[in-house]
A and B are shown apart, each in its own frame.
Chain A
Amino acid sequence: MSLDPFLNRREFMGRAARAGATLLAAGGIASLAYDPVGPGPISEEPAAAGLPDFSLPEAGRRMCIARGAADRSRALQLALQAIGGIEAFIRKGDRVLIKVNAAFASPALLSATTHPELVSEMIHLCLKAGAAAVRVTDNPINDPASCFALTGIGEAARRAGAELILPEERFFRPLTLKDAVLIKNWPVLLAPLSGVTKLIGLAPLKDHHRSGASMVMKNWYGLLGGRRNIFHQDIQTIIAELACMVTPTLVVLDATTTMISNGPTGGSLADLKETRTLIVGTDQVAVDAFGATLLGKTAADLPFIAKAEALGAGSADYRALSPIEVAA
Chain B
Amino acid sequence: MRIVTARRVSQVFFFVVFVWFCAVATLGEQPWQLRGWPVNWLLELDPLVGLTTLLSTRTLYAGLLWGLATLALTVLLGRVFCGWICPFGAMHHFLGYLGRRSRRLPAQVEMNRFRPAQAIKYYILVFFLAAGVLLPREWISSGSLQIGLLDPLPLAHRSVNLILLPLADRLGLGPAPLPRFYEGAGLIGAVFLGALFLNLWIPRFYCRFICPLGALLGVLSRWALWRVGRTEASCTGCRLCERSCEGACAPTETIRIGECVMCLNCLDECRHDAIAYRTRPSAAGEALLPDLARRGFVVSAVSGLLAAPVLRLGGTSGPNWNAGLIRPPGALAEEDFLARCIKCGQCMRVCPTNVIHPAGLEGGIEGLWTPKLNFRVGTSGCQHTCIACGHLCPTAAIRPISLDERVGRSAFAGRGPLRIGAAFVDRGRCLPWAMDKPCIVCQENCPVSPKAIFTREVFNAVRTIVPLTVKGTDRGRLLLASDALDAGRFGTGDYHALLSAGLRLRIAANTRDALELERPLTPPESPAPGSAVVIQVRLQQPYVDPKLCIGCGVCEHECPVLGRRAIRVTAENESRHPRHRMVL
Interface residue ranges, A against B (CB under 8 Å) = 104-106, 141-146, 149-150, 166, 168-169, 181, 208-210, 227, 229-230, 232-237, 262, 264-268, 270-271, 300, 303-304, 306-307
| A106 and B380 alpha carbons, distance in the complex (Å) | 13
Contact between chains at B385 and A303 (CB < 8 Å)? no
B177 sits at the interface (CB 8 A): yes
Contact between chains at B439 and A233 (CB < 8 Å)? yes
Could you jot down 28 A-B contacts, CB within 8 Å?
A105-B383, A142-B353, A142-B383, A143-B352, A143-B378, A143-B380, A143-B383, A144-B177, A145-B28, A145-B177, A146-B353, A210-B540, A227-B562, A229-B439, A229-B560, A232-B439, A232-B560, A233-B439, A235-B438, A235-B493, A236-B493, A264-B444, A265-B445, A267-B447, A270-B449, A300-B518, A300-B519, A306-B508
Known: A143-B383, A146-B383, A229-B441. A303 touches B493 (CB 8 A): yes
B477 sits at the interface (CB 8 A): no
Set of chain A residues within 8 Å of B439, measured between Cβ atoms: 210, 229, 232-233
User: 18 extra interchain contacts, Cβ-Cβ under 8 A, other than A181-B488, A232-B444, A265-B445?
Assistant: A104-B447, A143-B380, A145-B28, A145-B177, A146-B27, A150-B385, A166-B177, A210-B440, A227-B562, A229-B558, A232-B440, A232-B560, A233-B439, A268-B450, A300-B518, A303-B493, A303-B508, A304-B493
Set of chain A residues within 8 Å of B352, measured between Cβ atoms: 143, 145-146
Contact between chains at B449 and A262 (CB < 8 Å)? yes
Contact between chains at A144 and B379 (CB < 8 Å)? yes
Contact between chains at A209 and B177 (CB < 8 Å)? no
Q: Which of A229, A237, A265, A300 contacts B446 (CB 8 A)?
A: A265
Q: Which of B29, B558, B560 contacts A141 (CB 8 A)?
A: B558
Contact between chains at B447 and A268 (CB < 8 Å)? no
| A181 and B445 alpha carbons, distance in the complex (Å) | 25
Set of chain A residues within 8 Å of B455, measured between Cβ atoms: 209
Set of chain B residues within 8 Å of A303, measured between Cβ atoms: 492-493, 506, 508
Q: Which residue of A lies closest to B435 (CB)?
A: A233
| A264 and B451 alpha carbons, distance in the complex (Å) | 10
Main secondary structure of the interface of B (DSSP, over half): loop
| A271 and B518 alpha carbons, distance in the complex (Å) | 30
B289 sits at the interface (CB 8 A): no
| A113 and B562 alpha carbons, distance in the complex (Å) | 27
B431 sits at the interface (CB 8 A): yes
Q: Which of B28, B444, B506 contacts A209 (CB 8 A)?
A: B444
Within 8 A of A (CB), among B409-467: 431, 437-441, 443-451, 455
Set of chain A residues within 8 Å of B519, measured between Cβ atoms: 300
0/1 interface trace, chain B 536-575, chain A, CB 8 Å (1 if under): 0000100000000000001000111010000000000000
Within 8 A of A (CB), among B490-545: 492-494, 506, 508, 518-519, 540
Set of chain B residues within 8 Å of A145, measured between Cβ atoms: 27-28, 177, 352
| A168 and B386 alpha carbons, distance in the complex (Å) | 22
B178 sits at the interface (CB 8 A): yes
Set of chain B residues within 8 Å of A300, measured between Cβ atoms: 518-519
Q: Which residue of B lies closest to A236 (CB)?
A: B493
Interface size classification for chain B: 35 or more
Contact between chains at A233 and B449 (CB < 8 Å)? no
Q: Residue among A143, A150, A229, A265 with the most chain B CB within 10 A? A: A143
| A142 and B448 alpha carbons, distance in the complex (Å) | 14
Set of chain A residues within 8 Å of B380, measured between Cβ atoms: 105, 141-143
Set of chain B residues within 8 Å of A104, measured between Cβ atoms: 447
Contact between chains at B437 and A146 (CB < 8 Å)? no
Q: Which residue of A lies closest to B562 (CB)?
A: A227
Contact between chains at B508 and A230 (CB < 8 Å)? no
Q: How far is the CB of B305 from chain A (nearest CB, A)?
A: 44
| A237 and B386 alpha carbons, distance in the complex (Å) | 35
Set of chain A residues within 8 Å of B493, measured between Cβ atoms: 235-237, 303-304, 307
Contact between chains at A233 and B379 (CB < 8 Å)? no
| A235 and B431 alpha carbons, distance in the complex (Å) | 14
Q: Which residue of A lies closest to B179 (CB)?
A: A169
Contact between chains at A271 and B449 (CB < 8 Å)? yes
Contact between chains at A141 and B438 (CB < 8 Å)? no
Set of chain B residues within 8 Å of A270, measured between Cβ atoms: 449
Q: Which of B29, B488, B492, B560 contacts A227 (CB 8 A)?
A: B560
Q: Nearest 8 CB-CB pairs, A to B?
A: A267-B449, A303-B493, A268-B449, A236-B493, A143-B379, A142-B380, A229-B560, A143-B353
Set of chain B residues within 8 Å of A265, measured between Cβ atoms: 444-447, 449, 451
Set of chain B residues within 8 Å of A142, measured between Cβ atoms: 353, 379-380, 383, 554
Contact between chains at B385 and A105 (CB < 8 Å)? yes
Q: How far is the CB of B534 from chain A (nearest CB, A)?
A: 20
Q: How far is the CB of A12 from chain B (nearest CB, A)?
A: 37
Q: Which residue of B lies closest to A208 (CB)?
A: B444
Q: Residue among A105, A304, A306 with the most chain B CB within 10 A? A: A105
| A234 and B559 alpha carbons, distance in the complex (Å) | 15
Set of chain A residues within 8 Å of B558, measured between Cβ atoms: 141, 229
| A149 and B379 alpha carbons, distance in the complex (Å) | 15
Q: Which residue of A lies closest to B518 (CB)?
A: A300
Contact between chains at B438 and A209 (CB < 8 Å)? no
Set of chain A residues within 8 Å of B562, measured between Cβ atoms: 227
Set of chain B residues within 8 Å of A262, measured between Cβ atoms: 449-451
Set of chain A residues within 8 Å of B448, measured between Cβ atoms: 267
Q: How far is the CB of A223 from chain B (nearest CB, A)?
A: 18
Q: Which residue of B lies closest to A146 (CB)?
A: B352
Q: Which of B29, B179, B385, B451 contacts A106 (CB 8 A)?
A: B385
| A233 and B380 alpha carbons, distance in the complex (Å) | 21
| A304 and B29 alpha carbons, distance in the complex (Å) | 41
Q: Residue among A181, A235, A307 with the most chain B CB within 10 A? A: A235
Set of chain B residues within 8 Å of A143, measured between Cβ atoms: 352-353, 378-380, 383
Q: Which residue of B lies closest to A237 (CB)?
A: B492
Q: Which residue of B lies closest to A103 (CB)?
A: B445
| A227 and B441 alpha carbons, distance in the complex (Å) | 11
Q: Which residue of A lies closest to B441 (CB)?
A: A229
Contact between chains at B178 and A168 (CB < 8 Å)? yes
Q: How far is the CB of A234 from chain B (nearest CB, A)?
A: 5
| A298 and B445 alpha carbons, distance in the complex (Å) | 25
Q: How far is the CB of A209 from chain B (nearest CB, A)?
A: 6
Contact between chains at A144 and B445 (CB < 8 Å)? no
| A267 and B554 alpha carbons, distance in the complex (Å) | 14
Set of chain A residues within 8 Å of B440, measured between Cβ atoms: 209-210, 232
| A135 and B424 alpha carbons, distance in the complex (Å) | 41
Q: Which residue of B lies closest to A107 (CB)?
A: B385
Q: Which residue of B lies closest to A240 (CB)?
A: B493
Q: How far is the CB of A305 from chain B (nearest CB, A)?
A: 10
Q: How far is the CB of A196 from chain B (nearest CB, A)?
A: 21
| A169 and B228 alpha carbons, distance in the complex (Å) | 56
| A105 and B448 alpha carbons, distance in the complex (Å) | 12
| A266 and B449 alpha carbons, distance in the complex (Å) | 6
Q: Which of A149, A209, A230, A234 contacts B492 (CB 8 A)?
A: A234
Q: Which residue of B lies closest to A310 (CB)?
A: B509
Q: Which of B28, B179, B506, B540 contacts A149 (CB 8 A)?
A: B28
